[in-house]
Amino acid sequence: MSDQSSKPRVPDEVGVPDPFQYMHPVLKANYGNWDWHDRPRPGVLRHVAKSGDVIYTVRAGTQRQMDVFTIRRLCDIGDRYADGHVRFTTRSNIEYLVADEARVAPLIGALNEAGFPVGGTGASVSMVSHTQGWLHCDIPGTDASGVVKGLMDMLHDEFVQEKMPNRLRITTSCCQINCGGQGDIAVNVQYTKPPKINHDLVANVCERPAVVARCPVAAIRPAMVDGKPSLEVDEKKCVCCGACYPPCPPMQINGDDSTKIAVWVGGKHSNARSKPSFHKLAVANLPNNAPHWPEVKDVVRRIVEAYKSDAQHWERMGEWIDRIGWKRFFEMTELAFTKHHLDTWTGARKSMNMSAHLHF
């Protein structure tokens, strides 16, 4: 607006950018008029419009947290081997749109050459949906990108092929807020100790009534500690969820040995067949063992293998477990079923078996 450099620029509140200016011309021309699709090979989608137009999509995995060199390299590939139009999936895979089938194989070759695995379509393990972790978050119990790197290295083959019973979606979250979301397998931080309170700082840093209100089990109350206004936690009530930590950083929930990892199974966003579902606890108290998290990887591997070997085509993780029963799930994965698997939260009763239906 103004050329006076001292005056701040008034933002142009443009909102959500119009995607049509960036969209592949074949997508634009056939917007809302597609007919069918199939997958000629893993990592490639073919969509056919009612007009007869065809667009190929080549999907490749990325590390999500990308440096400008990586992005420019992906762009170079897009200019040389594709049509210069890309999009990203909700799981941070990049998709190249290509109108000419002859360009598909060279594009795949170029992506593989540059170290970007082509896959993530159909009955595969797609990229882990994840969070920021130690790299950028202000409350993380663990890292995100590192855990994801390890999991995707392990599951690389399942990304580039479509040999699972159905799609398998993994998420990770670095605290119990669970920004990573629901997953067929969810790898989430689970705190195991109440917050450690720095009473010197609480009065100055925290809005105490707001912190009291934040606690889901009403375990926090105002208190005078060493003559200073602070907060105290009823440790018998505390469920160690960490909800007080974001509004009150002096209530440190993380500890190098008390921050643990839990693995959950059977979350599903889609409405296909069964209704959407939340993930359920499989195992807790795994160590937060950077940089490779071997205990977590081992559990995930066992769950993936059991699902792969036993589920029927099109059954998602939760649907498979519904059929075989939790007893068999815990047997097949060699995980323990404990009192901590019995829900105690509001509505817990609805998760109990109130029938004579049994699995033996």
Partner 1 sequence: MKDDDIKNGDREVHPTPQLDELEDGPWPSFVTGLKRLRDEGAPGNQKMMNDLLGQLNHSYENRMGYWKGGTVSVFGYGGGIIPRFSEVAEKFPESKEFHTLRVMPPAGFHYTTDILRKLCDIWEEHGSGLIAFHGQSGDIMFQGCTTENTQKAFDDFNEIGFDLGGAGPALRTAMSCVGHARCEQSCYDEVRAHRSIINSLLDEMHRPSLPYKFKFKFSGCANDCVNAIHRADFAVIGTWRDEIKIDQEKVKEHVKEKGRRYTTDTVLKMCPTRAISLNDDDTLEIDNKSCVRCMHCINVMTKALSPGDDRGISILIGGKRALKIGDLMGIMVVPFMKLETDEDFEKLEEFAENVVEFFADNALEHERVGETIDRIGLPAFLEALEIEPDPNMVNHPRTSCYVRTDDFDEEADKWFARQATDQVAE
State which of positions 315-344 bind partner 1 (CB under 8 A): none
Q: CA-CA distance, 315 to 332, in Å (whole number)?
A: 17
At 313 the three-state DSSP class reads coil
Residue 38 touching partner 1 (CB under 8 A): yes
Q: Which of 107, 143, 162, 307 binds partner 1 (CB under 8 A)?
A: 143
Distance between start and end Cα atoms, the chain = 73
Is residue 131 near partner 1 by the rule CB under 8 A? yes
**Within 232-251, which residues bind partner 1 (CB under 8 A)?**
241, 243, 249
Which of 3, 4, 5, 16 is close enough to bind partner 1 by CB under 8 A? 16
| 121 close to 43: Cβ distance less than 8 angstroms | yes
The one segment of 147-155, 191-199, 230-238, 303-311 that binds partner 1 by CB under 8 A? 147-155
Provide the β-strand partners of residue 283. Answer: 263
Maximum distance among all alpha carbons in the chain?
Answer: 78
46-65 binders of partner 1 (CB under 8 A): 47, 55, 57, 61-65
Closest CA to 197 of 149, 238, 150: 238
| Alpha helical stretches, state H, 89-193 | 104-113, 145-154, 156-160
3-state secondary structure of 282: strand
Q: How remote is the C-alpha of 161 from its chain's centroid? A: 20
Closer residue to partner 1 (CB): 224 or 272? 272
Minimal distance, residue 224 CB to partner 1, in Å: 25
- Only segment of 190-198, 227-235, 262-270, 298-306 that touches partner 1 (CB under 8 A): 262-270
Q: Under rule CB under 8 A, how many of the chain's residues touch partner 1?
A: 117
Determine which residue in the list 42, 259, 262, 307 makes contact with partner 1, applying CB under 8 A: 259
- Chosen residue from 181, 225, 301, 340 binding partner 1 by CB under 8 A: 181
Query: Using CB under 8 A, which residues numbered 283 to 322 contact partner 1?
Result: 288, 290-292, 312-314
For the CB of residue 210, give the shortest distance to partner 1 in the complex, in Å.
7
Tell me whether residue 62 or residue 328 sits nearer to partner 1 (CB atom): 62
Query: Which range binds partner 1 by CB under 8 A, 76-84, 226-234, 300-308, 332-340?
Result: 76-84
Which listed residue (6, 344, 346, 355) binds partner 1 by CB under 8 A?
A: 346
DSSP, residue by residue, 215-234:
-TT--EEEEEETTEEEEEE-
Q: Is 308 helix (H, G, I), strand (E, B) or coil?
A: helix
Q: What residues numbered 106-125 form the site for partner 1, per CB under 8 A?
A: 115-117
Give the nearest distance from C-beta 54 to partner 1 in angstroms. 11
By the rule CB under 8 A, 126 interacts with partner 1: no
From 229-237, 254-262, 298-306, 331-339, span contacting partner 1 (CB under 8 A): 254-262
Distance set, CA 58 to CA 40, 64, 99, 195, 287 (Å): 11, 17, 11, 47, 37
Binding map of partner 1 across residues 191-210, x = CB under 8 A, - = no contact: -------------------x
Contact between 84 and partner 1 by CB under 8 A: the answer reads yes
> Which CB atom, from 313 or from 357, has the smaller least distance to partner 1?
313
**Contacts of residue 330, Cβ cutoff 8 Å, sequence gap at least 6:** 336, 337
Binding piece for partner 1, criterion CB under 8 A, among 23-31, 196-204, 297-305, 324-332: 23-31
Give the C-alpha separation, 349 to 347, whole Å: 5
Bridge partner list, 233 = 220
Nearer to partner 1, 11 or 227 (CB): 11
Residue 97 to residues 53, 68, 101, 122, 326: CA-CA distances in angstroms? Answer: 13, 21, 11, 17, 42
- d(CA 316, CA 167) in angstroms, rounded, equals 7
φ/ψ region of 296 (left if φ > 0, alpha if ψ in -120 to 50, else beta) reads alpha
> Is 36 a binder of partner 1 (CB under 8 A)?
yes
Q: Which is nearer to partner 1, 10 or 360 (CB)?
A: 10
Q: Do residues 252 and 198 make contact, with C-beta atoms less than 8 angstroms apart?
A: yes
